[in-house]
A and B are shown apart, each in its own frame.
Chain A
Amino acid sequence: MTIALGSAPRARRRYQLRPALVEAGSVMLGIALLIWSLLPIYNLFLIALDPEEGEIEFTGNLWPPEPSLDSFWDVVTQEARYLENFWHQFGNSLFIGLLTMVLTVLIGSLASFAVSRMRLGKSSLLTNAAVLTYTIPAAFLIVPYYRIMHVYGLLDTLWAVIAAQVTFATPFAILIMLLYASLIPFELDDAARVDGASAVQLYLRVYLPLMTPALAVVAIYALLLAWNEYLYQAVLLSTRNMTVAVTHGQLFVDTDAPWNAMMAAAIIYVLPPIALLFALRRYVIAALPAGEVKG
């Protein structure tokens, strides 16, 4: 004990000698992180702000010579080549993203409720099923998916992509929800039971409201999964039902495409997830333990 007390002031003194150094180091790290995070995004803008379509955007410019928003206008009015159906494709992407989000939250919360709160079976059974889903990664299953979607008659419909996305989003959603549900005290359920709440009421009135932060995290995760996805959309959908991601992915080696408009479209495309992240930030911050439900 005396040793511990003796070493404490020494440790503190050493601390005081270094704050300036630590501060300088963290500022430098901060600048490095800023450049690291923003460089590819800057590149998107660099190309998008170039008024001329064609080869000119790839001439090693560090700054667009004559920045203009023309390419954004071309995208919005669907006048750019390859982007004639931009808003239709955008709608398809949005439909896939939103339905993946809603279904993942719904299916995941129902399953995690039944297992964690109603104690149907062992929760390890559910986590095992979840992990088992990831044993063979999604990209490895594209060929059988193509075949089974044909069997189900879903090929070339947006539902085929939604089904695939929900399948691969739900396991992670369940893991997160089981983790978070274990933080909610059972006394709350018991109190509701005493008041005569049924299982459905318990789910709607107690479980869902208390799980809001976890639901928000899962919702963002599911939307981003669908938004980031390329392979399933490219294989399971035909030109009729294209999405924005597929248009971009299929043209990525085409130097002839109007890249300023393509990049402008890319910037417009990344807005919805950021908007969702912004809209749900209150709940996400609450999901961090500082704001958690206290037992």
Chain B
Amino acid sequence: MGGMQQVLAAGPRVPASGSRGPVWRRHLHGSELAWAIAFVAPYAAVFCAFVLYPVGYALWMAARPSLYAELIADPIYLRTVVNTLLFVCLAVNLKMFLALLLSGFFLRRRWWIKALLVVYILPWALAAVQSFISFHWMLINEQGLIDGLLSALLGIDGPIWFNYRSLALGSNVIAYIWKWMPFWTLIFLAARLTISRDIYDAAEVDGATGIRRFAHVTFPLLARLYLICTLLSTLWTLGDFTTVYLVSGGAPVSSTEVLATLGFRYAFDLANPELGIAAVISALPLLIPITIVLMRKLQTSELQL
């Protein structure tokens, strides 16, 4: 794998990380330094005003230990933690793995595959709220489109999807994958295009084709990017509110809530903002390790594959 990355780094497409600027640029002076600071200032201001302050505020609000005793005592909270883990594990891993495979499919040079790509990325361009409402109505009951199709094509009566926890949870996962898989497919597609043809030609000479080529050439080359994307997506999915709120709405009876929606219900429906914050802050033991690994991964080398 290390060898492969060296090959990749030597390819023409990948930036030479050794090409540092001349020595004079390493130390900024006078007006240069002032300009550089002025350029970073807006981001620094946003970071302080809208990241550090609210995060600090959240931690301060959630500092009371009795809040966590209250959470543990709530059976809905415990079920929500399980739901969140299920939702994140299923949605992120299925989505990423399918996106990786599909990016290979979209690499094929056929006119109809290029046209299909345009249709395929539509879900990403569509607004989330409206798409998820469409999912909600599609699955609402025997009158929805899915059950209509089931009875028309297969002659069976479809289930009432949101009456079963597993089906409702599954619907959330499917809707989430539908919405976000195109985005990650594009990222992997872009990365695959950077892999030099020479590597594949060499691999083919060595007899690595099909699945073996994927397992021994493509995947090792994309592994780092795949890991970074998976971690980033895990963070984003953990914080996903819209999918669960609009597709299943927590049905049946709050059994498919995730932390983001439960926190919202505690804070706004039950008018207990501290408890709402505590519910979401309780995900920190999961969030912090992911962040640390992500920072490490992004630091090694210049953000390349």
Residues of A within 8 A of B (CB): 4-5, 7-8, 10-11, 14-15, 26, 29-30, 33-34, 36-44, 46-47, 58-62, 106-108, 110-111, 113-115, 118-120, 123-124, 126-129, 131-145, 147-148, 152, 163-164, 166-167, 170, 174-175, 178-179, 182-183, 185-186, 189-190, 198-200, 203, 224, 227-231, 235, 245, 248-249, 252-253, 259, 262-263, 266-267, 269-270, 273-274, 277, 287-290, 292, 294-295
Closest B-chain residue to A235, C-beta based? B268
Complex A-B: 24 CB contacts under 8 Å: A11-B209, A26-B105, A41-B131, A43-B134, A58-B137, A62-B148, A111-B42, A119-B25, A119-B28, A123-B302, A136-B239, A139-B239, A145-B54, A163-B49, A167-B51, A189-B21, A198-B35, A230-B128, A235-B268, A249-B245, A252-B246, A252-B249, A253-B249, A270-B125
In the bound complex, do residue B46 and residue A166 qualify as a contact, i.e. CB atoms below 8 Å apart?
yes
How far apart sit A142 and B205, CA to CA, in the bound complex (Å)?
Answer: 56
Other A-B contacts than A144-B58, A152-B49, A249-B133, 18 sampled, CB-CB below 8 A, are A11-B204, A30-B116, A41-B123, A59-B143, A113-B39, A118-B39, A126-B43, A134-B291, A143-B263, A186-B20, A189-B21, A230-B241, A235-B268, A287-B190, A288-B193, A289-B13, A289-B190, A292-B13
**Interface set, chain B 198-243, CB cutoff 8 A to A:** 204-207, 209, 232, 235-236, 238-242
List the B side residues contacting A43 at CB < 8 Å: 134, 137-138, 145
Asked whether A245 and B105 contact (CB < 8 A) given A11-B207, A114-B39, A139-B239, the answer is no
Interface residue tally on B, bucketed by range: 35 or more
The segment from B75-83, B89-97, B277-285 that touches chain A is: B277-285
Closest A-chain residue to B194, C-beta based? A289
Q: Is the interface of A mostly helix, strand, loop or mixed?
A: helix
Q: Which 6 A-B pairs have the closest CB atoms?
A: A137-B239, A266-B130, A60-B148, A114-B39, A140-B280, A228-B128
Q: How far is the CB of B271 from chain A (nearest CB, A)?
A: 11
Closest B-chain residue to A56, C-beta based? B143
Closest A-chain residue to B113, C-beta based? A30
Query: Once A and B bind, how many residue pairs between them come within 8 Å at the CB atom?
Result: 318
Interface check B40, CB cutoff 8 A: yes
In the bound complex, do residue B142 and residue A60 qualify as a contact, i.e. CB atoms below 8 Å apart?
yes
In the bound complex, do residue B119 and residue A137 qualify as a contact, i.e. CB atoms below 8 Å apart?
no
How far apart sit A98 and B291, CA to CA, in the bound complex (Å)?
Answer: 30
Interface check B129, CB cutoff 8 A: yes
How far apart sit A42 and B176, CA to CA, in the bound complex (Å)?
Answer: 18
**Interface set, chain B 131-152, CB cutoff 8 A to A:** 131, 133-138, 140-145, 147-149, 151-152
How far apart sit A62 and B42, CA to CA, in the bound complex (Å)?
Answer: 52
Q: How far is the CB of A13 from chain B (nearest CB, A)?
A: 11
Of residues B31, B102, B260, which shows the largest number of chain A Cβ atoms within 10 Å of its Cβ? B260
In the bound complex, do residue A34 and residue B119 qualify as a contact, i.e. CB atoms below 8 Å apart?
yes
In the bound complex, do residue A140 and residue B239 qualify as a contact, i.e. CB atoms below 8 Å apart?
yes
List the A side residues contacting B119 at CB < 8 Å: 33-34, 37-38
List the A side residues contacting B154 at CB < 8 Å: none
How far apart sit A85 and B238, CA to CA, in the bound complex (Å)?
Answer: 34
In the bound complex, do residue B123 and residue A40 qualify as a contact, i.e. CB atoms below 8 Å apart?
yes
Contact among A37, A46, A108, A294 with B43 in the assembled complex (CB-CB below 8 Å): A108
List the B side residues contacting A203 at CB < 8 Å: 39
How far apart sit A89 and B188, CA to CA, in the bound complex (Å)?
Answer: 36
Closest A-chain residue to B110, C-beta based? A26
Q: How far is the CB of B28 from chain A (nearest CB, A)?
A: 6
Contact among A14, A140, A186, A270 with B127 in the assembled complex (CB-CB below 8 Å): A270
In the bound complex, do residue B22 and residue A190 qualify as a contact, i.e. CB atoms below 8 Å apart?
yes
Interface check B70, CB cutoff 8 A: no
In the bound complex, do residue B40 and residue A110 qualify as a contact, i.e. CB atoms below 8 Å apart?
yes
Contact among B32, B57, B149 with A147 in the assembled complex (CB-CB below 8 Å): B57
Contact among A41, A126, A137, A163 with B126 in the assembled complex (CB-CB below 8 Å): A41
How far apart sit A263 and B135, CA to CA, in the bound complex (Å)?
Answer: 12
In the bound complex, do residue B245 and residue A40 qualify as a contact, i.e. CB atoms below 8 Å apart?
no
In the bound complex, do residue A270 and residue B130 qualify as a contact, i.e. CB atoms below 8 Å apart?
yes
In the bound complex, do residue A185 and residue B19 qualify as a contact, i.e. CB atoms below 8 Å apart?
yes
Q: How far is the CB of B69 from chain A (nearest CB, A)?
A: 20
Q: How far is the CB of A61 from chain B (nearest CB, A)?
A: 7
In the bound complex, do residue B42 and residue A182 qualify as a contact, i.e. CB atoms below 8 Å apart?
no
